[in-house]
Structures are given as C-alpha cells and as structure tokens.
Amino acid sequence: MSRSIQIERSSRSQPCELCSGHEFDIVSRIDRRSDPLSTVACRSCGLVSHESIPSDADVEQYYAHDYRNDYHGEHTPSSHRILRAWEGAQWLLNLLRPYVRQGSRVFEVGAGIGFNVKSFEADGFQAEGIEPGQGFQKYSQDVLRANVKCLSLFDMSPTPQYDFILLVHVIEHFNSPKKALEHIRHLLRPDGRLYVECPNLAEPHAAPRKLFHYAHIYNFTPDTLVAMAEAAGFKTVARLTERHGKALRYVFEKSEPKCEVSSASYGNTIASLRRYNDFTYHARPRYLWQRLKRDVRFASNHILPTLRVHRILNRLQQTSGGGTAPSDTISAGSATYVRAT
C-alpha cells in the first residue's frame, strides 16, 4: 500500500528548538506501529519533531523503565543483540581511530550494552560512559566490567574532563537536543571532540510508515543536525556519512555558537519525506541488497550465539588492562562513583 504524506498546519505553541520558529506543518499522524503520534516540521528551518515535546519527567521515566522493552522488546540484552552490538562497536572503533588522540579520555552518553566503552578501553583508551536503562547498564557493569554508570546526562557535573564524547543514536532521544549538546560542550576539554550518529531523515532509513517512533523525539537531516550542533557551540571536523547512508555521522569540535540554517532546509526535508511511498521504497535494488545482507547477518548471529558471546567476553577479559587503565571514578554532580571491580 502506497503512502504519500499529507501536509496540514499544526497548532503547536512550543517554539522550534533550533530556530525558535512558531509555524509548523504536520507530516505524520501515526508512529511505526500505527499508533497515534503527531510529527511536525518547522516551516522556518525544516527540523522534524514530535508535535508535543515530552517533559523532562516523562523522558526520565520512559528511559529508566520502559524504553528497552518498548524499542527493543527486551529489558536485558539477548545473545544475538550482544553479538550485533559487538560487531557495531568494532566497526565504530575503526572508523573513529583517526579522530581520537592517543591517550584520550573517552566518554559515551547512552552507552547501552557497553561494547563501545569496552572496545575503546581494550584499545588502550580511558573509557567510561552512562546509561539510564537499568537492565542494559547492569549487563554492562556486571558482565562486561565496563565503566558504565546508571545515570542521565544532566546528572553529570558540567566540568571539562573528557577528550572525546560519543553520542551514538542518542541525540534524537533528547527532548532538548540543543540543551544536551550545550551540556556536553561543558564536559569536553578545550580541544575535545564530539561524535554524533543518528538516523538520516534525508535518506531512506526506514519505510514511510516506519519513520517515526515515540522514542525519537527529533528527526534530523544533515542541514538540521549541523545547524543544531553549531547553535550549541560546535563546528564540523569531519562528515563520515556514506553516500546515501541511512545514518548521519559527524565529528565536531568546540567553537563559538552560531545559528545559521539554509533557506532550503524546509523544502529539502519535505522533499525527502515525499521521495518514496511504501512500494517504491521496498522495490529499490539498494534496499533489497541491504535487506539480504542484514538477514544473513542476523541469521548468523542466531547460530550458537551463547558460545560466541562467551568467546567475545573471554577475549575482552584477556585484553582489558593491556593499555592505559580506565579511570576508577566518574564525576556526577557532587557525587563520585567508584568503578566496579
């Protein structure tokens, strides 16, 4: 069944997070499960978000207790998810090595299972992170022995203490990404860098009926992600997004805040949303090839997953401590947490 978005004016009163505009168009009335969820695009800058932005209390409750079950269908990670996370962490480490200085103190916001943190630690970096989801954080700390605490970003004392911060598929979950980026800026040392990865709304990363989800409060194109980073006081070091990539990948560094959005941004956003219907999206040769590779990878992750996970954990245990030892403490507000041993 095809689907073409129907634009209608929104009555939203909250200003745009990026440009403070007050005019919005509704681009969708449903989420990926066909449940009600109104999504809007700012008519001034093209930033896409929920029509009604959830409160801090709603976000905190959702991510502490409901997100993993709602989004992944599991409170603690299954073996095949662990394998997928391990593969992704190794790929990301190789991608980012040229941009992370030797001896850097690396920090991940929204560390999930903890494999990014553990992979950087095993590669000789000081690495730690935070994860608000209790089940995944417990696995990270108890099984991986990764330095990941059950905290949210704003629990962290805003003092410059890190050289490189990872924000991997997290920025879309904040109810105020600009506020989050500004807080992260305070956590970075003067020459520190930030890596941001999120779904690319300008390219088909999901079928038209599967684009929007309650957990993804914001949806970014290259224009709006870069503009959001610049507004929070960052400038682009490198764009690592593949051509037609489903994910945006940028390395930023601290700079002076500025807010400049392309006048074509709104039109580009709407054109991206209208590019495909359900049939043309699924009929693309690129989609069919990627789906085949994904299915093969997923199937392989279900072959003796427990044994394979055991081997990975043994490998990490043998390599941990081979380089610079991870920090024993992590500062959060006025408290100091000791790394699990």
Could you tell me if residue 27 is inside a domain?
Answer: no
- pLDDT level of residue 300 (50, 70, 90 thresholds): low
In percent, how much of the chain has pLDDT > 90? 57
Distance of CA 189 to the CA centre of its chain: 22
Could you tell me if residue 83 is inside a domain?
Answer: yes
Asked if residue 70 lies in contact with residue 216, where contact means CB atoms within 8 angstroms, the answer is no
Quickly tell me which residue has 């041993």 as its tokens. Answer: 341
Could you tell me if residue 296 is inside a domain?
Answer: yes
Could you tell me if residue 162 is inside a domain?
Answer: yes
Asked if residue 116 lies in contact with residue 108, where contact means CB atoms within 8 angstroms, the answer is yes
In whole numbers, what is the pLDDT of the chain averaged over residues? 86
Could you tell me if residue 35 is inside a domain?
Answer: no
Written as six digits, the tokens of 50 are: 């929920």
Q: Which of 9-13, 108-112, 335-339 has the lowest mean pLDDT?
A: 335-339
- pLDDT level of residue 334 (50, 70, 90 thresholds): very low
Mean pLDDT of the 34-51 span: 96
Could you tell me if residue 3 is inside a domain?
Answer: no
CB neighbour list of residue 168: distance below 8 Å, 6 or more residues apart: 92, 108, 110, 116, 195, 197
Encode pLDDT of 127-174 as tens digits: 999 998 888 899 889 888 999 999 999 999 999 999 999 999 999 999
Per the structure, the complete domain to which residue 259 belongs is given by: 55-338
- pTM for this entry: 0.85
Asked if residue 139 lies in contact with residue 313, where contact means CB atoms within 8 angstroms, the answer is no
Please tell me the total count of domains within the chain.
1
CA distance 227 to 202: 15
- What is residue 220's three-state secondary structure? strand
CA distance 104 to 332: 20
User: Do the bridges between strand 8-9 and strand 24-30 make them parallel or antiparallel, or are there none, so unpaired?
Assistant: antiparallel
- What is residue 26's three-state secondary structure? strand
User: Do the bridges between strand 218-219 and strand 247-254 make them parallel or antiparallel, or are there none, so unpaired?
Assistant: unpaired
Could you tell me if residue 191 is inside a domain?
Answer: yes
Written as six digits, the tokens of 301 are: 């992750």
Phi first, then psi: what are they for 280, rounded to 5°? -65, -30
Whether the pLDDT of residue 338 is over 50: the answer is no
Asked if residue 305 lies in contact with residue 79, where contact means CB atoms within 8 angstroms, the answer is yes
Could you tell me if residue 200 is inside a domain?
Answer: yes
- Cα distances (Å, whole numbers) of residue 297 to 60, 99, 223, 283: 33, 28, 32, 21
The DSSP letter of residue 110 is: S
Strands (E), the chain: 8-9, 24-30, 36-42, 48-50, 105-109, 126-130, 148-149, 162-168, 188-199, 218-219, 234-239, 247-254, 329-332, 335-338
Q: Tell me the CATH number at 100.
A: 3.40.50.150
Q: Which amino acid is at 299?
A: A
Q: What is the pLDDT of residue 341?
A: 28
CA distance 196 to 276: 26
- pLDDT level of residue 243 (50, 70, 90 thresholds): confident
CA distance 258 to 243: 27
Encode pLDDT of 191-211 as tens digits: 999 999 999 999 877 888 889
